[in-house]
Structure 1
Amino acid sequence: MKIRQATLQDLPGILELIEEAKQSLAARGVDQWQNGYPDAMVITNDIQKRQSYVMEANRSIIGTAAILCEEDPNYQKIEDGQWLTSGPYGVVHRIAIHPDHKGQGLAGCFFSYAWQLCQSANCVSLRIDTHQDNEAMQHAIRHFGFTYCGMVQMADGSPRKAYEYIGEEKDHGF
């Protein structure tokens, strides 16, 4: 298994994972990614900005995530809490794991990889957000070692639970 930067050739496989994730979220009653986001334009933009990553096993894409070593405008204001740090940070967005590989700790592998990337870009922390009903992702986030910091609002006004990670990662094999 390896994680690498995505290319435009990976777009169909990434979109398939995103669609499967949307269906899984809907089946669990989670109103996240149910309005068309993320779509091919968003993922293509991630790839072109070199912020899209894929996880491969046996030459098949089994996971995807956007990893940004830059500030997120949605994180400027946090409610009901505060961020752990004020320095430069990285962000993980649009993470999806193939249904056959869920529950294997692969989100943690992405978090570990993102932490390494962001540290090399002189970031002091890693941030992520998720829907308040997405308990599976909240579990993966907390299990890796992120700390809940408060609520942020997305550009469309929807609230998200916000987390930050400042180190002491567990060994996830990367």
Structure 2
Amino acid sequence: MRTRLARKHDLSSLMRIVRRVVPLMHAEGNFQWDDKYPNEAVFLDDIERRRLCIAEIEEEVAGVVALTTDPEPDYTQADWDITQPAVVVHRLAVDPLFRGAGVAKALMLEAERVAVAQGIFLIRTDTNKQNQATQRLFPALGYRFAGEISLRMRPGLRFFCYEKQLPQP
């Protein structure tokens, strides 16, 4: 498996992952994503800003993650000092064909590598309250639970926040 920045030619693979993942999310009661979000425009913006990473297995796109440093106003609800610089993980998804292959873990480790390369030693993320897989993944990777919040962009849903302090050299 290798990770790399996504490119425009990856868009069709990314949208295929979304089409495969959304029904599974909905079946588990997780309505964080739907047929409108995330969409090609969101991924294209991530690609153009060089903040979208993918994991490949045998040259197939197996997963995706967006890594930003933009402040998240809704995060003021969490148990965080939002004045601290952080890399924020968004749009983490694994193609169901590659579940169990360590793709999500590889993408989260890539987030840590990117953060340290930028001189940032804090990773933050949120996940839908119904997303059991990420609620197991994040603590297993050393993330601490930092509270429950709502997001203006997804009204009616609740999200759990996690963060990880990375070791400084």
8 Å CA contact 2:54, 2:107 repeated in 1: no
C-alpha distance in 1 between matches for 2:72 and 2:163: 13
Residue type of the alignment partner of 1:122:
G
Amino acid of the structure 1 residue aligned with 2:88? V
- SS for the counterpart of 1:123 is coil
Q: What RMSD, in angstroms, separates the aligned Cα atoms of the two structures?
A: 1.7
Q: TM-score, normalised by structure 1?
A: 0.87
Structure 1 stretches of 5 or more lacking a match? Answer: 169-174
TM-fit CA distance, 1:27: 1.7
Q: Does the residue aligned with 1:163 lie in a helix, a strand or coil?
A: strand
Query: Who is 2:52 aligned against?
Result: 52
Aligned length: 165
Residue 69 of structure 1, CA deviation: 3.0
Tell me the residue number matched to 2:164.
165
Per the alignment, residue 19 of structure 1 pairs with 19
Aligned to 2:97: 100
Identity of aligned residues (%): 25
SS in 1 for 2:77: coil
- Aligned in 2, Cα 1:17/1:124: closer, same or farther, shift over 3 Å? same
C-alpha change, 1:70 and 1:85, in structure 2 (3 Å) is closer
Shift of 1:67: 1.1
Partner of 2:141: 144
Match of 1:155 in 2: 152
Partner of 2:129: 132
Q: Which consecutive unaligned segments of at least 5 residues does structure 2 have?
A: none
Deviation at 1:130, TM superposition (A): 0.5
Superposed CA deviations along residues 131-163 of structure 1, whole A, max 9, x for unmatched, are 001101111111111110012322233321110
**C-alpha distance in structure 2 between counterparts of 1:106 and 1:84, whole Å:** 29
Tell me if structure 1 keeps the 8 A contact 2:66–2:90: yes
Deviation at 1:85, TM superposition (A): 7.2
The answer on whether the counterparts of 2:71 and 2:82 sit within 8 Å (CA) in structure 1 is no
* Distance in structure 2 (CA, Å) of the matches to 1:2 and 1:74: 33
2:129 alignment partner, SS class? coil
Note the C-alpha offset of 1:35.
5.6
Query: Letter of the aligned partner of 1:164 in structure 2?
Result: E
Query: Shift of the alpha carbon at 1:93?
Result: 0.5
Q: After superposing the two structures, state which structure 1 stretch, 51-60 or 84-93, moved more.
A: 84-93
- Does the residue aligned with 1:95 lie in a helix, a strand or coil? strand
**Partner SS, residue 30 of structure 1:** coil
Divergent runs of 4+, >6 A:
none
Distance 1:2 1:15 in 2: 20
